A and B are shown apart, each in its own frame.
Chain A
Amino acid sequence: MSKEARVHRIKQVVLVTALAIYTMLAAGPFLWVASMSLRTTSEISKDHFRLPDTLHWEKFPDAWFNSNYGVYFSNSLLVVLSAVAILTLVGAMAAHCFARYRFRLNRVLYFVIFSTIIFPPQITIIALFQILVEYGLFNSLFGLTLVYVAFQLPITIYILESFFSRIPNDLFEAARIDGYSEWSIFWRISLPIALPALSTTIILNTILLWNEFLYAVVLITDEDKRTLPLGIQRFMGDQMEDIGMISTGLMIAIIPVVMIYAFFSEKLIQGMTAGAVK
């Protein structure tokens, strides 16, 4: 091996080692929780940093049935799925409209909705609490769903609009000559073409709402209506010392995210970074 090749080799080894250390730092905490989720608290308190000797899988059904995680999980699932379904349809309709039709106020409305992205949630949260109480939607999963839809609407419209506006206009003209109605142009041309962008927003919104905490903590108080982040916080407050069981609960919240990420990592990265890349 020539001297130059050897220097190059050493450089590469150093680089890869440094990157591996950073990877441990990024992933280590999750691996730690994953290992604790399969150990009992008494095992953990003897040594916190050990792989499980016996795998206590029974902790998962235990958390699910006896510590109410099953309820939290289904609440989260219900709210997230319905919010994402509404968001996708409503957001796509609005984005299609902004991209497709020229009308006065078009850019103004678009800009107003878009600028909401930077609003701190505090500016709406107190009033939302009052409004939902007034309309009997406080402490209801339906109310939370509507708030979530409104919360994610700007970013959804932003991502979809930039995709819709790249669809060539000739396509719509042709469809119009074929006698398509405005609605079927949207339903049968825009939407199918926009599937890649739609799947990006669906995955992005699913993850963000699955993790949402602030609106949930203000708008939900009943034990049996808690979403997962609230349930975890509650369990953490009640059972501070039961590290093993809290870890199991954390894994119940993490696993769906990891599964989505495993299948759609590129889509998810695209969605998360959509706002940052111009």
Chain B
Amino acid sequence: MHEARALRTPWRAVTLFLLPALTLYVAFTAYPVVKTLWNSLHVVLPNRHEFVGLANFVELAKDDIFWRAVRNTLIWACTSPLFEVSIALVLALALYAKVPGARFFRIAWFTPVLMSYVVVGIIWAWIYNYDWGAVNYALRALGLDSWTRAWLGKPETALPALIFITTWMWTGFNMVVLLAALHSLPSEVIEAAELDNCGWWSKLVFVIVPMIRATVLNLVVLSFVGKMKIFDLVWITTKGGPLWATETVSTYVYKRAFEWNTFDLGYPSAVASVWFVIVLCSVLTLTWLFRQREKLEY
């Protein structure tokens, strides 16, 4: 009798357990997504809305600022993973080599990622300050006065300077994940490689990295997605300026929806919808690509 009961789904319990989560999910996630997609086909003014078909998307295709934002965001999303993961790998290997104080280093390096972008953004805006920021201070101390500049105020350096901040922030996080992956490797394999007298470089490239590739690829995707969404840091430091040099899709959506006095929520919804589809597709493509390569190799 007990078996019979175990096999039947207790629908009452299932409903009870799922209802609160599903209600919140539908009300504050699923419904808003659908509403945004619906918005994107309309002009949405405070007291009326009007169906305009694909007009928003046609306008989008001709919107130079939007394409500028797409370019900036893609540059950010494609370069960040390379920096973050490769530097993190070097640091993780250093700690894996049983350095004294490894535990302390691990905890200290993880700290930046725990701070909000608001805090980090303000501190780094100061570090990049032209008159008294730490970067220019150091350059002047080294006699490199001609290298000093307003790092966030110049269109050429603003985006690289922001990319540096996110790299600084996330490297420690990536390091910790990679270190955990390294520690979970069977030590016999690495010992065997050592016995075979591989140099450390070939040991790294041919033995260690292939074994933690799943973790590396996960981190790459995670870092990529994080930068595709980036908003807070830009908003606190440059607001997308100077001259749209650091405009990201997120900041542009925010500006069009809540800052510019166009009052139309339809157009920014169209931008958000396009970006939503692009993010989903690129994540799916990345995971698919990585899986294909895995199949080829094994």
Contacts and interface: CB of A to CB of B under 8 A. Distances in A.
Interface in B109-133: 109-120, 122-124, 126-127, 132
Interface string B205-236: 00000000011001100100100110110011
A175 to B, nearest CB: 12
A23 B218 contact: no
A27 B25 contact: no
A53 B13 CA distance: 64
Given A127-B33, A272-B173, A278-B218, A122 B127 contact: no
Contact of A232 (B16, B119, B176): B119
Interface in B149-166: none
B225 A118 contact: yes
B21 A94 contact: yes
A153 to B, nearest CB: 6
Nearest to A47: B132
Residue among B11, B116, B120, B219 facing the most chain A CB atoms (10 A cut-off)? B116
Interface stretch (B94-102, B190-198, B288-296): B94-102
Interface in A92-137: 93-94, 96-97, 101-103, 109, 113, 116, 118-131
Contacts of B51: none
B243 interface: no
A103 B232 contact: no
B35 interface: yes
A182 B6 CA distance: 11
A96 B10 CA distance: 14
Contacts of A153: 21, 24-25, 29
A97 B236 CA distance: 41
A55 interface: no
Contact of A27 (B36, B108, B254): B108
Contact of B13 (A27, A101, A233, A269): A101
B105 interface: yes
Interface in A1-32: 12, 15-16, 18-19, 22-23, 25-27, 29-30, 32
A48 B229 contact: no
Nearest to B282: A118
B118 A211 contact: yes
Interface string A252-278: 011001000100010011001101111
The interface size bin for chain B is 35 or more
Contact of A26 (B39, B116, B172): B172
A218 interface: yes
A122 B276 contact: yes
A141 to B, nearest CB: 15
B134 A120 contact: no
B20 interface: yes
B100 A127 contact: no
A99 to B, nearest CB: 10
B180 A118 contact: no
A213 B118 contact: yes
B283 A19 contact: no
Given A120-B228, A232-B118, A109 B18 contact: yes
B272 A120 contact: yes
A15 B100 CA distance: 10
Given A16-B100, A277-B180, A124 B114 contact: no
Interface in A182-225: 182-183, 186, 207, 210-214, 217-218
A273 B170 CA distance: 12
Contacts of B132: 45, 48
Contact of B35 (A32, A120, A131, A182): A131
Given A120-B250, A123-B273, A211-B116, 16 more contacts: A23-B108, A90-B21, A97-B17, A119-B29, A121-B229, A124-B33, A125-B257, A126-B253, A128-B32, A146-B24, A176-B6, A250-B123, A254-B119, A276-B222, A277-B177, A278-B215
26 contacts: A16-B100, A19-B91, A22-B91, A23-B109, A26-B112, A48-B137, A90-B24, A101-B9, A119-B276, A122-B249, A123-B33, A129-B258, A131-B28, A150-B24, A176-B6, A211-B118, A213-B117, A213-B118, A214-B231, A229-B116, A246-B122, A261-B107, A272-B114, A273-B176, A276-B219, A277-B181
Which 6 pairs, one residue from A and one from B, show the smallest C-beta to C-beta distance?
A: A211-B116, A150-B28, A94-B21, A97-B17, A182-B13, A127-B35
Interface of B: 2, 5-6, 9-14, 16-18, 20-22, 24-25, 27-29, 31-33, 35-36, 39, 44, 91, 94-95, 97, 99-101, 105, 107-120, 122-124, 126-127, 132, 134, 137, 168, 172-173, 176-177, 180-181, 214-215, 218-219, 222, 225, 228-229, 231-232, 235-236, 249-250, 253-254, 257-258, 265, 268-269, 271-273, 275-276, 279-280, 283
Interface of A: 12, 15-16, 18-19, 22-23, 25-27, 29-30, 32-33, 45, 48-49, 89-91, 93-94, 96-97, 101-103, 109, 113, 116, 118-131, 146-147, 149-151, 153, 157, 173, 176-177, 182-183, 186, 207, 210-214, 217-218, 229, 232-233, 236, 243, 246, 250, 253-254, 257, 261, 265, 268-269, 272-273, 275-278
